[in-house]
Amino acid sequence: MKHAYVFPGQGSQFPGMGKAHYDNSVFARKLFEQANEALGFRISDIMFHGTDEDLKQTKVTQPAVFLHSIIAYRSIEQARPEMVAGHSLGEFSALVANSVLSFEDALKLVSIRAQAMQKACEMQPSTMAAVLALDDAKVEEICAAVQAETGEVVVAANYNCPGQLVISGSVKGIEIACERMKAAGAKRALVLPVGGAFHSPLMAPARDELKAAIEQTKFQQPSCPVYQNVVAKAVLDREEIKQNLIDQLTGPVRWTQSVLAMIGDGASRFTEAGPGKVLQGLIGKIDKTVAAESVA
Domain 2-121+201-295 class, CATH top level: alpha beta
Rounded Cα distance, 3 and 271, in Å: 8
* Confidence class for position 56, pLDDT limits 50, 70, 90: confident
Residues acting as catalytic residues:
88, 199
* Confidence class for position 57, pLDDT limits 50, 70, 90: confident
Is the pLDDT confidence value at 194 over 90? no
* Confidence class for position 79, pLDDT limits 50, 70, 90: confident
pTM (two decimals): 0.95
CATH 3.40.366.10 residue ranges for the chain: 2-121+201-295
Average pLDDT over residues 232-251: 98
* Confidence class for position 272, pLDDT limits 50, 70, 90: very high
| pLDDT given at position 78 | 81
* Confidence class for position 139, pLDDT limits 50, 70, 90: very high
| pLDDT given at position 88 | 97
Domain 124-191 class, CATH top level: alpha beta
Is the pLDDT confidence value at 296 over 80? no
CATH 3.30.70.250 residue ranges for the chain: 124-191
| pLDDT given at position 198 | 96
Mean confidence (pLDDT) of the chain: 95
Average pLDDT over residues 245-271: 98
| pLDDT given at position 242 | 98
pLDDT tens digits for range 7-24: 999 888 999 999 999 999
